[in-house]
Amino acid sequence: MTAVADLGIAFGRVAFVMLFVLNLGGLLTWVERKQSAIMQDRIGANRASIFGLRLFGLFHPLADAIKMLTKEDFRPANADRFLFTLAPFVSVFFSLVAFAAIPFGDVLRAGGREIPLQAITLDVGILYVFGMLSLGVYGVMMAGWASSNNFALLGAQRAAALMISAEIAIGASIMGVIMVYGSLNLQDIVRGQGALLGGWLPMWGIVTQPLAFVLFVTAGIAATKRIPFDTPEGESEIIGYFVEYSGMKFGMFAMADFLETVVVAGLTTALFLGGWQVPWLHADGFRFPWGWAVDLPHLAVVLLQVGAFVAKVSLMIFVLMLIRWTLPRFRYDQAMRLGWLGLFPLSILNIAITGLVLLAWRPA
Amino acid sequence: MRLGQRFYLREVLSGLALTSGHFFRNMGRHVLHALGRKDVRGAVTIQYPEERRPYAPRLRTLHRLVRREDGSPRCVACMMCETVCPARCIYIVADEHPNPDIEKMPARFDIDLGKCVFCGYCVEACPEDAIRMDTGILEFSSYSRGGMIYTKETLLSLEPAGPDGRPTSPVPIPADRRP
């Protein structure tokens, strides 16, 4: 009986994360349209309706999906049949599973069990997310290679080059966070961010590692292949790796970008914005630094934490969308220079400074 | 470039301040609009089929044939408009008018709107002020070339646009779109 319950709980945890990421990714097509429209004094897509009900254009993602699924699924004559079909699935799969190690809450105690609110509890969670994000580029390269189209291959090559230069910066910038919180486990890192600096300031990553935050977000946007760094795609004028794709396979590549946005937002939240931490909320209620205390039941605390995580991820997605609709695209050489001569040396500098501060503050 | 501009982050932040400023300002206006302040608008969009901008009074729109008091066309089939038309889209067949004071009248007066370039020369050339382009109708369409040919009867039935530039007569439905 307990084995069945355990299985059910594990399934529920995975299903929660899976549905959260998938639905948020689908919703992002709507968010992108509406947010960009409001930023540009427009109204945005609002015509799709069911029985005359428009709901601010919320049916447009649905209409998009129906359109994508009913379009012709074209494959070029010389394309590598197996790899061509596999590529979009690889892209979506890795961006989907990357979220699994990101904790969306602390521990839920129910029925004598302690349920960790995380799809999988991994001691090397940060490496896992990082690895899955990097593997996503395989789908892109596969697509470029299998299309038997030189432009697609060039796009895939740009994607690979961008990915390498971004990933070095991601890896080097999170090193500082790992040094401060002393763990590769994302849950431990989030717990560490609950500590208070000087008794009142929550020790979130953005407070302890401000430079790493900027570097990580910049490199993270590059990893999502969205606009300031969309040289691999460049769907509007330069040709990218998915030229030969149509129908739902194209839709899956577009979907993978949105899923990666969710993953980068989730990872930024977990590493720099305190994850599920609510300022001054402890396991038994609020303990404000000015002396007030509000006691809360366990379930309320857990719900507050999950709510805080969702709110922070949404805020981060808003910021990523804001950046995407504000900046023009980097030229290929500018993106390379920024990655190798800007982000990478600065991340190394950040590691050095963090090490020195840690040495000075808490001598072993 | 000044040093501040070369340092990328500051310029990025000022750009983000601009766009997010627009976002929050427009969002506040949208909320006010939804709460009943209909004079506040969060967007400059004119939602076309439902909302229209007023047309300029001089705008050249779908032609109409002006009627005499008895309802017959004022046109005397002098062929001036057919001659001046650069697109050659007007076809007139002349006929005797029953009234001996009036020389001729058109038996047929067809305009092929698929060819018309809306230059308005026909209106200027007409000595009888019998053709005008003031109906305010712009949205006419057809599934075939034949459907774009508007005949005398259709053109005679049209009325001039109202003072706001809005059409007062319905958009004529071409023959190939009638159910």
Q: Does B93 lie at the interface with A, CB-CB under 8 angstroms?
A: no
Q: Which amino acid is at A21?
A: V
What's the rounded Cα separation, in Å, for the pair A188 and A203? 13
Q: Which amino acid is at A182?
A: G
- pLDDT tier at B176, thresholds 50, 70, 90: low
**A220 touches A268 (CB < 8 A):** yes
Please give, rounded to a whole number of angstroms, the shortest distance from the CA of B20 to a CA of chain A.
7
Please give, rounded to a whole number of angstroms, the shortest distance from the CA of B52 to a CA of chain A.
16
What's the rounded Cα separation, in Å, for the pair A348 and A346? 5
Interchain pair A327, B18: CB under 8 A: no
How much is the pLDDT for B1?
A: 66
**Pairs across A and B, CB distance < 8 A:** 45
Q: Which of B8, B22, B47 sits opposite A39 (nearest CB)?
A: B22
Torsion angles phi and psi, residue A67, rounded to 5:
-60, -50
Cα-only R_g, chain B: 26
**B4 touches B10 (CB < 8 A):** yes
Our count of domains for chain A comes to: 1
How much is the pLDDT for A46?
A: 87
Question: What pLDDT, in 10s, does the model give residues A47-100?
Answer: 888 888 888 889 999 999 999 999 998 899 999 999 999 999 999 999 889 999
Dig out the tokens for A89 from the structure.
């699935």
Q: Which amino acid is at B63?
A: H
pLDDT at A353 over 70: yes
What's the rounded Cα separation, in Å, for the pair A284 and A300? 10
* Higher pLDDT pick, A40 / B50: A40
- pLDDT tier at B51, thresholds 50, 70, 90: confident
Displacement of CA B77 from its chain's centroid (Å)? 26
Which single residue is written with the structure tokens 């005499």?
Answer: B68
Burial tier of B47 (Cβ tally within 10 Å: 0-12, 13-18, 19+): exposed
Dig out the tokens for A214 from the structure.
């900027």
Question: Which chain A residues have a beta carbon less than 8 Å from that of B26?
Answer: 38-39, 41
Nearest CA to A240 among A159, A324, A295, A170?
A159
Strands (E), A196-272: 196-197, 201-202
Q: Which of B15, B23, B45 sits opposite A43 (nearest CB)?
A: B45
Question: Which chain A residues have a beta carbon less than 8 Å from that of B43?
Answer: 37-38, 41-43
- pLDDT tier at A236, thresholds 50, 70, 90: confident
CA angle B64, B66, B70 (to 5 degrees): 135
Question: What pLDDT, in 10s, does the model give residues B106-164?
Answer: 999 999 999 999 999 999 999 999 999 999 888 888 888 888 899 999 999 999 988 87
pLDDT at A322 over 90: yes
CB atoms within 10 A of CB B142: 17
Interchain pair B22, A40: CB under 8 A: yes
Which of B19, B27, B47 should one mutate to test binding to chain A, selecting the residue with the greatest count of A CBs within 10 A? Answer: B19
Which single residue is written with the structure tokens 């007062």?
Answer: B168
Question: What is the sign, positive or negative, of the torsion defined by CA atoms of B113, B115, B121, B122?
Answer: negative
Portion 298-337 of A in contact with B at CB < 8 A: 322-323, 325-327
For range A328-335, the mean pLDDT: 88
Domain that holds residue A163: 2-361
How much is the pLDDT for B124?
A: 95
What's the rounded Cα separation, in Å, for the pair A166 and A57? 35
In this structure, of A8-17, A36-45, A196-205, B71-80, the range with the lowest mean pLDDT score is: A196-205
- pLDDT tier at A196, thresholds 50, 70, 90: confident
Collapse the DSSP code of B149 into the 3-class scheme (helix H, G, I; strand E, B; otherwise coil) and give the result. Answer: strand
Interchain pair A35, B42: CB under 8 A: no
Residues 6+ apart with CB under 8 A from B39: none
Interchain pair B26, A38: CB under 8 A: yes
State the pTM of this model.
Answer: 0.86
Strand-strand pairing, B104-112 and B149-150: antiparallel
Q: For A253, how many CA atoms within 13 A lie in the half-sphere containing its CB?
A: 29
Which single residue is written with the structure tokens 């038994």?
Answer: A284
Interchain pair A38, B30: CB under 8 A: yes
pLDDT at A222 over 70: yes
3-state secondary structure string, chain B?
Answer: CCHHHHCHHHHHHHHHHHHHHHHHHHHHHHHHHHCCCCCCCCCCCCCCCCCCCCCCCCCCCCCEECECCCCCECCCCCCHHHHHCCCCCEEEEEEECCCCCCCEEEEEEEEECCCCCCCCHHHHHCCCCCEECCCCCCCCCCCCCHHHEECHHHHHCCCCCCCCCCCCCCCCCCHHHCC
How much is the pLDDT for B177?
A: 65
Question: What is the sign, positive or negative, of the torsion defined by CA atoms of A159, A160, A166, A170?
Answer: positive
User: Which residue is closest to A318 within chain B, CA to CA?
Assistant: B20
